[in-house]
Structure 1
Amino acid sequence: MDDKDLYSRKDISIMKSAADTLNRNNDRIQEIIEYAKISNIKTIGIAHCTTFNKEAKQLRTLLEIEGFTVEQVNCKLGKIPFSDLVPNYKGITCNPAGQAHYLEEKNTELNIMMGLCLGHDMIFNAKSKALVTPLLVKDRKLNHHSIKKLNSSDF
């Protein structure tokens, strides 16, 4: 199979729009904003861990200033007891499938993932009907800066 056969027209359109917005002077948030504008996206979802409530609110404000409708949902949506899913587990579980479903109901066209736990991010990505891009990856040990490990001599 030829590599170009791996890509649908939609895939190519996404890649072209992303390439058209590249600018060395833009940070990741500005890249997302520019991509959404060039792609004519109007509604953006933010799926985040409760650890990042403050940052998600700040992101929402930035996106709204740029003219987007923003839907935001944290990981404890529905406050599901973990024991409902896995016997003998305690506490309230995260709900990445619920987050994806909530944002689908709000008709988001692009979802931004902020600090979802490993595994939960995979479920959210798999369940999201809208495109998903990560903004922040949870890394408890390295204060959410996983690249520090790769840039060190500690491995």
Structure 2
Amino acid sequence: MDIKDIYTTSDITIMKDAEDSLNRKNDRIQEIIEYAKISKIKSIGIAHCTSLSKQANILSQILNKEGFTVEQVNCKIGKIPFSDLIPNYEGISCNPAGQAKYLEDKKTELNIVLGLCLGHDMIFNSKSKAPVTTLIVKDRKLKHSTINLLNNYE
């Protein structure tokens, strides 16, 4: 199979822009900013867990200062009762598909995941029309520092 049969033109552009924005002296937020600038992205979405609202606000401020339009959406958008999805469950469900739809309606060109739960991140990624990158994965035990878990397996 030819490599060009695997990757779309859009995929190749993303890969090239990511490579062009690479600077080993930059942290992940700086990498995202450089990537977005090289890609001529103007609007960035942040899909976050409600428990990381403070961090989402800080990230929004950073991106705004860099000239981007930022749209935030927390995981409880739409306030779906669990019982509507799973019988005998109580409470309000997260709504990763709703987060993706909200950011699609806002016409974001790049979406950042900030601490969505396992599974919810998968649904968000599959439903997002814009490319998605993850800044923080949810890891309650390790306070979102999953690399420490892997370092302990050496």
TM-score range, shorter chain: over 0.9
* Residue 46 of structure 1 pairs with residue 27 of structure 2: no
* Residue 102 of structure 1 pairs with residue 102 of structure 2: yes
Q: Tell me, which stretches of 5 or more residues in structure 2 are unaligned? A: none
- Paired residue secondary structure (1:10): helix
Rounded to whole Å, the distance in 2 between the matches of 1:148 and 1:100 is 30
Counterpart residue number, 2:121? 121
Rounded to whole Å, the distance in 2 between the matches of 1:153 and 1:21 is 32
Partner amino acid for 1:62? I
* CA displacement at 1:99 relative to structure 2: 0.2
Stretch deviating more after TM superposition (113-122 or 78-87):
78-87
Q: Tell me, which stretches of 5 or more residues in structure 1 are unaligned? A: none
- Paired residue secondary structure (2:132): strand
Rounded to whole Å, the distance in 1 between the matches of 2:136 and 2:19 is 21
Rounded to whole Å, the distance in 2 between the matches of 1:79 and 1:25 is 41
Q: How does 1:1-150 map to 2 (within 5 A)?
A: 1-150=1-150
Rounded to whole Å, the distance in 2 between the matches of 1:122 and 1:153 is 25
* CA displacement at 1:79 relative to structure 2: 1.1
Rounded to whole Å, the distance in 1 between the matches of 2:147 and 2:4 is 31
Rounded to whole Å, the distance in 2 between the matches of 1:37 and 1:105 is 22
Rounded to whole Å, the distance in 1 between the matches of 2:28 and 2:97 is 25
* CA displacement at 1:17 relative to structure 2: 0.3
Rounded to whole Å, the distance in 2 between the matches of 1:25 and 1:4 is 32
TM-score by length of 1: 0.96
Rounded to whole Å, the distance in 2 between the matches of 1:93 and 1:146 is 24
* CA displacement at 1:7 relative to structure 2: 1.0
Rounded to whole Å, the distance in 1 between the matches of 2:5 and 2:78 is 41
Partner amino acid for 2:83? S
* CA displacement at 1:153 relative to structure 2: 3.5
Partner amino acid for 1:64? N
CA RMSD of aligned residues (A): 1.0
- Paired residue secondary structure (1:118): coil
Rounded to whole Å, the distance in 1 between the matches of 2:81 and 2:6 is 41
TM-score by length of 2: 0.97
